[in-house]
């Protein structure tokens, strides 16, 4: 199936003449001039935050482009990933007519934002092993002409596992290297088959769908899997989301990214509000992504804490299963999850009850070691009470 971007964009968006802000008309940020008299934007000339921020976040995009090996026009910077989610509906989905597909249990904002935009939500639940049911997904594609967007969160929230992988060859190499083997060892036949099957699934999914497939990589920094950013050149209908809220610890700044073809990013930029990311958040994000060493140190610490916490959770009699995680949280199946949740809440420890999505499950965010130890102590006390 040939992908044609114009065919799936809302006509009013395709024809939209975007708002032209004062700073976008004059290339202030690339002018090369050290001093300018700015009398174009009706700003107060006094104050520390009196000037409008760069509407296209060019300095931040330049650093991202360098790190991600992309061009600037393949990057959208938003007010958190939630802005990108909302804009995708606004760009591609006609209210009251078009549909979207989610793979529950998954991140709740896909469905909430669809409701806000009056978009019907279809569902193809992941299976009991927390894997994509590709037959169910392809059936929805075949049977719904007005299906425009498919959302895939990987690593998935709340299950914590990578449900779609961009390249199993990279995974094999990373694992082999970690174990001290040689990177150029030949694949064994079983893995060769798995590698080929994964590629066939990806090609069938992306090439047989004329709409947009969004891979949300909010937790990408906590896994060794290769990012789908590396597949943008292969699939013109792919959009990849990432965020500064997790590994970089900037949840309060609200900065998220969408990576896609320059044609799709152009649609983001014409549809977004002119000054969608404030100056303080832009500077905080730029500082964080430049400090690669600090980010890696944080990721290493959180992954170590995750391993420790997972091992501790596995020792409790009232916890039936601790699921493997490639994110900064752990999902566990618990006897009487509501009771455990309420007990921890009463001790001032707030976790997330995910029993409405997966029966009797709790989601534990990986905190500092002190926070993890405090929670484990509380769970120890709980176990003593129920014995």
Q: What is the pLDDT of residues 120-170, one digit of tens each?
A: 999 999 999 999 999 999 999 999 999 999 999 999 999 999 999 998 766
Residue 196 predicted with pLDDT over 90: no
Pair 318, 268 in one domain: no
Residue 178 predicted with pLDDT over 70: no
pLDDT at 179: 45
Token readout for 185 is 């060892």
Residue 27 predicted with pLDDT over 80: no
pLDDT at 26: 66
Mean pLDDT of 288-315: 96
Candidates 163, 126, 113; CA nearest to 100 is: 113
Pair 16, 46 in one domain: yes
Q: What is the pLDDT of residues 36-45, one digit of tens each?
A: 888 888 999 9
Domain that holds residue 331: 293-386
Pair 242, 356 in one domain: no
pLDDT at 180: 47
Pair 340, 198 in one domain: no
Token readout for 53 is 């921020």
Residue 16 predicted with pLDDT over 80: yes
3-state class percentages of the chain: helix first, strand second, coil last, to nearest 5: 45, 15, 40
Pair 261, 375 in one domain: no
Mean pLDDT of 53-61: 94
Pair 14, 145 in one domain: yes
Q: What is the pLDDT of residues 98-112, one digit of tens each?
A: 999 999 999 999 999
Pair 186, 300 in one domain: no
Residue 177 predicted with pLDDT over 80: no
When comparing pLDDT for 143 and 196, which is higher? 143
Tell me how far apart the alpha carbons of residues 152 and 211 are, in angstroms, rounded to a whole number. 14
For β-strands 256-259 and 319-322, DSSP reports them as unpaired
Pair 175, 111 in one domain: yes
Q: Tally the domains of the chain.
A: 2
- How are strands ordered across the β-sheet holding 212-216? 75-78, 256-259, 238-243, 212-216, 147-153, 99-102, 120-123
Return the half-sphere exposure (C-beta side, CA atoms, 13 A cut-off) of residue 289.
Answer: 22
Pair 233, 332 in one domain: no
pLDDT at 188: 67
Of 274, 290, 306, which residue is a domain's last?
290
Q: What is the pLDDT of residues 225-278, one digit of tens each?
A: 999 999 999 999 999 999 999 999 999 999 999 999 999 999 999 999 999 999
Return the half-sphere exposure (C-beta side, CA atoms, 13 A cut-off) of residue 229.
Answer: 21
When comparing pLDDT for 25 and 340, which is higher? 340
Tell me how far apart the alpha carbons of residues 281 and 194 are, in angstroms, rounded to a whole number. 42
Give 131-138 contacts, CB < 8 A, sequence gap 24+: 131/163, 132/103, 132/163, 132/164, 134/201, 134/204, 134/205, 137/101, 137/103, 137/205, 138/204, 138/205, 138/208
Q: Are 244 and 217 in contact (CB under 8 A)?
A: no
CA separation, residue 315 to residues 91, 320, 322, 330, 364 (Å): 49, 10, 10, 14, 15
Query: What's the Rg (C-alpha) of the chain?
Result: 23
- Give me the sign of the Cα torsion angle 135, 136, 139, 145: negative
- pTM of the entire predicted model: 0.93
Mean pLDDT of 208-237: 96
Pair 367, 342 in one domain: yes
Mean pLDDT of 322-337: 97
Q: What is the CATH number of the domain that holds 172?
A: 3.40.640.10
Pair 38, 90 in one domain: yes
Q: pLDDT band for position 332 (50/70/90)?
A: very high
Mean pLDDT of 361-367: 98
- How are strands ordered across the β-sheet holding 361-365? 319-322, 329-334, 361-365, 352-353
Give percent of the chain above pLDDT 90. 84
Of 290, 324, 356, which residue is a domain's last?
290
- Collapsing DSSP to helix, strand or coil, 331 comes out as strand
Candidates 110, 84, 6; CA nearest to 272 is: 84
pLDDT at 155: 97
Candidates 26, 38, 78; CA nearest to 57 is: 78
Q: What is the pLDDT of residues 312-325, one digit of tens each?
A: 999 999 999 999 99
Pair 362, 282 in one domain: no
pLDDT, averaged across the chain = 92
Helix 369-386 vs helix 292-313: crossing angle, to nearest 10: 10
Tell me how far apart the alpha carbons of residues 363 and 352 are, in angstroms, rounded to a whole number. 5
């Amino acid at each position: 199936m040939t992908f044609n971007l114009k065919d799936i964009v809302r006509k009013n968006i395709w024809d939209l003449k975007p708002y032209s802000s004062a700073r976008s008309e004059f290339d202030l940020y690339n002018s090369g001039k050290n001093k300018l008299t700015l009398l174009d934007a009706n700003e107060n000339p006094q104050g520390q935050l009196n000037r409008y921020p760069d509407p296209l976040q060019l300095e931040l995009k330049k650093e991202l482009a360098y790190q991600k090996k992309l061009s600037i026009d393949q990057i959208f910077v938003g007010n958190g990933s939630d802005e990108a989610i909302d804009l995708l509906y606004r760009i591609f989905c006609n209210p009251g007519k078009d549909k979207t597909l989610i793979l529950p249990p998954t991140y709740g904002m896909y469905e909430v934002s669809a409701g806000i935009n009056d978009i019907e939500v279809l569902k193809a639940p992941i299976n009991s092993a927390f894997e994509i049911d590709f037959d169910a997904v392809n059936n929805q594609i075949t049977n719904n002409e007005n299906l425009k967007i498919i959302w895939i969160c990987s690593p998935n929230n709340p299950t914590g596992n990578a449900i779609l992988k961009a390249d199993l060859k990279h995974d094999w190499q990373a694992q082999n290297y970690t174990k001290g083997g040689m990177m150029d060892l030949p694949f064994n036949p079983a893995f060769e088959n798995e590698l080929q099957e994964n590629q066939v699934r990806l090609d069938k999914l992306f090439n047989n769908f004329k709409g947009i497939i969004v891979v949300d990589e909010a937790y990408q920094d906590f896994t060794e899997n290769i990012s789908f950013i590396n597949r943008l050149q292969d699939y013109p209908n792919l959009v990849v989301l990432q965020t500064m809220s997790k590994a970089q610890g900037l949840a309060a700044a609200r900065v998220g990214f969408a990576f896609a073809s320059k044609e799709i990013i152009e649609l983001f930029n014409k549809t977004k509000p002119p000054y969608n990311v404030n100056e303080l958040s832009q500077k905080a994000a730029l500082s964080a992504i430049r400090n690669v060493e600090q980010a890696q140190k944080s990721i290493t610490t959180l992954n170590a804490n995750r391993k420790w916490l997972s091992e501790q959770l596995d020792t409790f009699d009232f916890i039936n299963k601790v699921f493997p995680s490639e994110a900064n949280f752990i999902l566990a199946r618990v006897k009487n999850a509501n009771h455990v949740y309420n007990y921890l809440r009463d001790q001032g420890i707030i976790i997330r009850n995910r029993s409405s999505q997966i029966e009797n499950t709790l989601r534990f965010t990986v905190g500092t070691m002190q926070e993890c130890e405090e929670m484990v102590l509380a769970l120890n006390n709980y176990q003593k009470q129920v014995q």
